[in-house]
Amino acid sequence: MKSKKLRSSGQPFPQLKYCTRCCMPETTEGIEFDDMGICKSCQSSEQKIHIDWVKREKELRKILMYYKKRSGSNYDCIVPISGGKDSTFQLHVICKIYGMKPLAVTFSHNWYSPVGKQNLDNALEKFNVDHIMFTPNRALVNKLARKSLMMIGDSCWHCHAGVGAFPLQVAMKFKIPLMVWGESIAESSGRATHYEPGHRYDREYFIKVSAKVYPEQMVGNGITKKDVFPFKFPTSSEIKNVGVTGIHLGDYIFWDDERQTEFVRREYGWKEDTIEGTYKRYKSAECIMPGVHDYTKYLKRGYGRATDHASQDVRAGLLTREEAFKLVKKIDPKKPKILKYYLKITGLSEKEFYDVMRKHRVGKAKHLSLP
């Protein structure tokens, strides 16, 4: 009876175990199911209904006011921004709700979309914040994009590492101890819940969560120690001297991607865009490369961003699980058009690309019928 129920749900790979509530498969990194077969993301979604968000907001206010008082004439905090809908909402919360003076910091992946550039410029104007941006040179990005595929089975190591390292470097230079991020890792990563937070923010947070390897490990194949310097993290003692701490707003306020997107679009003119690999138009709108990023995940694990988004919609009651699986099977396997550009800048052939990705499959993903 159980196997028949699984087949009728329309899951993409019948040999895999999926969350009994959403569409997340057992090949998801760090996923755990409870006794009822429910994943941590679904557990976290359920917890959000029972959390006392008024109490948590008071905790947030206490933290922010503490750093605002001790900042003197300096900046109250750093808000790392990309111009995406999350960072635009972060600026709204920090500037408009709590009246703080942040320093906005951007690590540019050098793959900005036209809409992304427009959204970033618009946010800086609407919130009147000071801003620092670092952009690695294009030739280096191309080399790192190639090495990234070999090392972590993903095109975007330089972005994962840079987003973590550069704001910390700025915090050291300006001696700004508080860093304010957006979405909580408990929201949809499957690796934590609101009751069991898992990864706390520290200097290596983005190495653990996304970059996976240190800058020193990227040296070679035309990449030098000087090249990876912008991606290096300050030492633990340097961070301790400044007293750097990081928080995620999603741990203190009810996080809702759909409502927040509607809000920043309506109030601040934030713009969506067509994004490969999903049916939603807001996640990673600032970048031209999410199609490759999410396609590599599909090739490694048998699911992509459409699965992530469909699962969120199931939890929110916007889709049934069966409707979500239909979307997943249609979108996740689709080869992105931007792959052609990625192959051009990295010098890889399409065959080499797929050969590398097959080597990154582990566990049950090795036996899936994938390209």
Distance (Å, whole) CA 330 – CA 323:
11
Number of domains within the chain: 1
Distance (Å, whole) CA 119 – CA 125:
10
- Residue 334 confidence class, pLDDT cut points 50, 70, 90: very high
State which residues form the domain around 96. Answer: 53-251
Judge whether 270 lies within some domain. no
Mean pLDDT within 27-40: 94
- Answer whether residue 248 shows pLDDT above 80: yes
Mean pLDDT within 9-32: 94
**Domain at 177, CATH number:** 3.40.50.620
Mean pLDDT within 144-152: 98
The residues with which 106 forms a beta bridge, in sequence order, are 133
CB atoms within 10 A of CB 234: 18
- Answer whether residue 139 shows pLDDT above 70: yes
pLDDT of residue 190: 72
- Residue 199 confidence class, pLDDT cut points 50, 70, 90: low
Mean pLDDT within 170-174: 95
Judge whether 70 lies within some domain. yes
pLDDT of residue 8: 46
**Token representation of residue 247:** 């928080």
- Answer whether residue 5 shows pLDDT above 80: no
Give the range among 27-41, 91-105, 189-203, 251-265 with minimum mean pLDDT: 189-203
pLDDT of residue 1: 36
Judge whether 304 lies within some domain. no
CB atoms within 10 A of CB 132: 16
In terms of DSSP bridges, do strands 178-181 and 245-248 run parallel, antiparallel, or are they unpaired? parallel
- Are the beta carbons of 278 and 306 closer than 8 angstroms? yes
Cα angle for residues 58, 62, 66 (degrees, 5° grid): 170
What angle separates helix 290-301 from helix 305-315, to the nearest 10 degrees?
Answer: 90
Task: Report percent pLDDT > 70 for the chain.
Answer: 97
| DSSP track, 64-129 | HHHHHHHTTTS-SEEEE--SSHHHHHHHIIIIIIS---EEEEEE--S-B-HHHHHHHHHHHHHHT-
- Residue 198 confidence class, pLDDT cut points 50, 70, 90: low
Judge whether 209 lies within some domain. yes
Judge whether 185 lies within some domain. yes
Cα angle for residues 81, 86, 89 (degrees, 5° grid): 90
pLDDT of residue 202: 79
Judge whether 176 lies within some domain. yes
Judge whether 324 lies within some domain. no
Look at 239 and 8; give whichever has higher pLDDT.
Answer: 239
- Are the beta carbons of 183 and 251 closer than 8 angstroms? no
Determine if residue 183 is left, alpha or beta; phi over 0 gives left, psi from -120 to 50 gives alpha, anything else beta: beta
Mean pLDDT within 172-176: 95
pLDDT of residue 368: 95
Mean pLDDT within 265-288: 96
pLDDT of residue 4: 40
**Token representation of residue 211:** 């970059």
pTM given for the model: 0.93
Question: What is the maximal distance between C-alpha atoms in the chain?
Answer: 67
Task: Report percent pLDDT > 90 for the chain.
Answer: 88
Judge whether 227 lies within some domain. yes
